[in-house]
Structure 1
């Protein structure tokens, strides 16, 4: 893989044997930071996200493109003996393997951690699954919805007294990918010191549980089971979305100084004098009445007007954006939260960038997601396979490659 810019993980070789989101997001982050990530897919059908599209063309899936930029792609039949041997040879000089099959699946293929560690003792082997590699639920399938349900996230999301709702984004999938990438980088740092690889194991449900910081500690410390609070914070008030003349504004008056600034900015000094709102504990006990009082007053001006007034007084606040508004905001544009690549089927594609800015070795998006098997020949020949071996594997259907004339751009 030729990169025009250096990244923090330049030189790190990653074998990505993942499907859909959680594992793919882990390897995506590694790729954006400079790692040479080789995505392994099934010949013919590829990753399941290739079919998450309104188009019948598996190369026209925005879902796949979103999770697999900056990666090279090869097509290998993991169920064939020859295909398994291809993976073993690639793993022999890889730094990292990332997989997100159900625990035991890779072992049955002869491609589990112990199998590959015997070939490459320095290997970092990362597994992302629904419930982790151990425990009574280890063999259950992993889905973000189920993880949100069983981690407690759904029990505290939404408004009191309503049906359970999930977080609007696949938070357990994404958090699992983040924790996996963090685990890989931590294991890599350890290997630089010790020369030893290790097994990295994380799960969707634990990624969800890890997000329940306030809620779990409310149970640990006070024995209270947290309930939904809508947009409100469970430990500070007012800290929620409040109605305005034309919509809502998110206001975070999380301490006494900001509470004072809020009341002054909106012209309600009387609220500062009210005994029931004197302290944060008082405001929490009387949160519903406080929310009503604030909303009744804020209804007299627009969200934009209140944002301007409150920000001038140092009150943390903001409009509630839909996704289109997010990407029109001048601050987000200045922070370069998106970048583009050219895809051979989709044309220009916009991507979310890595939300971490490294001053010397920043992340870069340099290539679009691969076509199915686009780099099979390139990768295998680069990693020591001969032309004769490649052609024999191709003839046996253990591997597949994209027909070159279908590639209009890289």
Structure 2
């Protein structure tokens, strides 16, 4: 079966993390993603980090596979003319530029709609195009802080901690991919394009879900609780003889079985711990008792014992072990991708599975690698015209 987004063409003007991760998700599902980059410079992430694979930044590779790269100087009149010709033959224009920059480049929704009334334009910004923060710069750390996510991440009594995953960026990327897919469906039904406005701050805040609803309902302001849960006990990471294990006891059935496995069946009947609400009130007494028992065996031993009894648990894996995880490899979440110069490298796979869908992975493009191909095949330019554009710094 052809990929889900086969036939969709996206002009991708985004850089850094949030935008490119979104467009990679869509490229993995078959969209033709044409990455528009400045001649001689390109996406700043191309130079990120000291680790390189096949001559490319490992960071850049991780979020730019399956794309095509075109260099185009949008600050020039001729460059904008070419861009508008591509807009006429595309479905989506995608960016993570500030509104003022987008206007200056002539790439705002109003501009591109004039050349393609059915175009879908999606912009990711830190705070949205208006409001008191609209012109403020921000990165993942800033967004995690302002969103409140850092206020209850980390161990009690310790300084605030940034989430290991850059959710300030990735939340917006996921919302953008979702919204673009929705807009494509709407256009299929109505023939209408639209403007999509994705704020990274909005996206992160939306993930608070029950935490905010608890607060509105009268709970205390959330505080750091480590790996624990605000309303479930026991729930968290526990030290074992050789590492860590995570355990989540969400129902009383799990609780009784868990106590029996630990060799302390009396805890299940103890009025301090009978129900989850009781355990939440007395977590300071209960957790040390559980820790004392779990330290006696290795992580693998506990995972085997608890899993047999259907107790929700999991080893706390370091990233090297994640890459070897048998479930992830079974699900093709660790895949081999060919390096153009020869050999292969491993990457994370596409988490979206559709029955019988064709799936392929191409190495991230070199800067401007597909410029000539796109100008020839899509716009019908001749070699002489392309050479002239290159000589004039347009491409």
Please tell me the TM-score bracket, short chain as reference. Answer: over 0.9
Q: 2:51 touches 2:58 (CA, 8 Å); kept in 1?
A: no
Relative to 1, partners in 2 of residues 1:271 and 1:170: Cα closer, same or farther, differing over 3 Å? same
Q: 2:54 touches 2:340 (CA, 8 Å); kept in 1?
A: no
What residue in structure 1 maps to residue 40 of structure 2?
A: 44
Q: 1:373 and 2:368 equivalent?
A: yes
Measured in 2, the distance between the counterparts of 1:157 and 1:365 equals: 37
Q: Match of 2:181, SS?
A: helix
Measured in 2, the distance between the counterparts of 1:202 and 1:223 equals: 30
Identify the match of residue 279 of structure 1 among 241, 251, 275: 275
What residue in structure 2 maps to residue 217 of structure 1?
A: 213
Deviations 1:152-197 (A, max 9, x none): 1111110111111100011121111111000000000000000000
Q: 1:307 and 2:303 equivalent?
A: yes
Identify the match of residue 383 of structure 1 among 378, 383, 389: 378
Q: 1:25 and 2:21 equivalent?
A: yes
What residue in structure 2 maps to residue 316 of structure 1?
A: 312
Q: 2:7 touches 2:32 (CA, 8 Å); kept in 1?
A: yes
What residue in structure 2 maps to residue 403 of structure 1?
A: none
What residue in structure 1 maps to residue 95 of structure 2?
A: 99
Deviations 1:123-152 (A, max 9, x none): 111101111122121122231111101111
Q: 1:156 and 2:186 equivalent?
A: no
Measured in 1, the distance between the counterparts of 2:247 and 2:154 equals: 18
Identify the match of residue 59 of structure 2 among 56, 63, 66: 63
Measured in 2, the distance between the counterparts of 1:317 and 1:58 equals: 38
Q: 1:343 touches 1:369 (CA, 8 Å); kept in 2?
A: no
Q: Displacement, 1:92?
A: 1.1
What residue in structure 2 maps to residue 79 of structure 1?
A: 75
Q: Displacement, 1:103?
A: 2.2
Measured in 2, the distance between the counterparts of 1:207 and 1:175 equals: 6
Measured in 1, the distance between the counterparts of 2:239 and 2:208 equals: 27
Measured in 1, the distance between the counterparts of 2:295 and 2:330 equals: 32
Deviations 1:205-241 (A, max 9, x none): 1121111112211211115211111000111111111
Q: Displacement, 1:392?
A: 2.2
Relative to 1, partners in 2 of residues 1:58 and 1:92: Cα closer, same or farther, differing over 3 Å? farther
Measured in 2, the distance between the counterparts of 1:204 and 1:346 equals: 38
Identify the match of residue 293 of structure 2 among 279, 297, 306: 297
Q: 1:77 touches 1:83 (CA, 8 Å); kept in 2?
A: yes
Measured in 1, the distance between the counterparts of 2:316 and 2:145 equals: 26
Q: Match of 1:222, SS?
A: coil
Q: 1:339 touches 1:365 (CA, 8 Å); kept in 2?
A: no
- Structure 1 gap segments, 5+ residues each: 400-410
Equivalent residue runs for 1:339-358 within 5 Å: 339-344=335-340, 347-358=343-354
What residue in structure 2 maps to residue 331 of structure 1?
A: 327
Q: 1:45 touches 1:58 (CA, 8 Å); kept in 2?
A: no
| Consecutive aligned runs of 4 or more in structure 1 exceeding 6 Å deviation | 55-58
Q: Match of 1:126, SS?
A: strand
Identify the match of residue 236 of structure 2 among 235, 240, 246: 240
TM-score relative to the length of structure 2 = 0.96
Deviations 1:51-96 (A, max 9, x none): 1032799952111111110001111112222212221111111101
Measured in 2, the distance between the counterparts of 1:45 and 1:115 equals: 25
What residue in structure 1 maps to residue 199 of structure 2?
A: 203
Q: 2:66 touches 2:363 (CA, 8 Å); kept in 1?
A: yes
Q: Match of 2:124, SS?
A: strand
Q: 1:102 touches 1:140 (CA, 8 Å); kept in 2?
A: no
Q: Displacement, 1:361?
A: 2.7
Identify the match of residue 194 of structure 1 among 173, 190, 195: 190
Measured in 2, the distance between the counterparts of 1:353 and 1:201 equals: 28
Q: Match of 1:77, SS?
A: coil
- Structure 2 gap segments, 5+ residues each: none
Identify the match of residue 9 of structure 1 among 5, 16, 26: 5
> For the aligned residues, what is the CA RMSD?
1.7
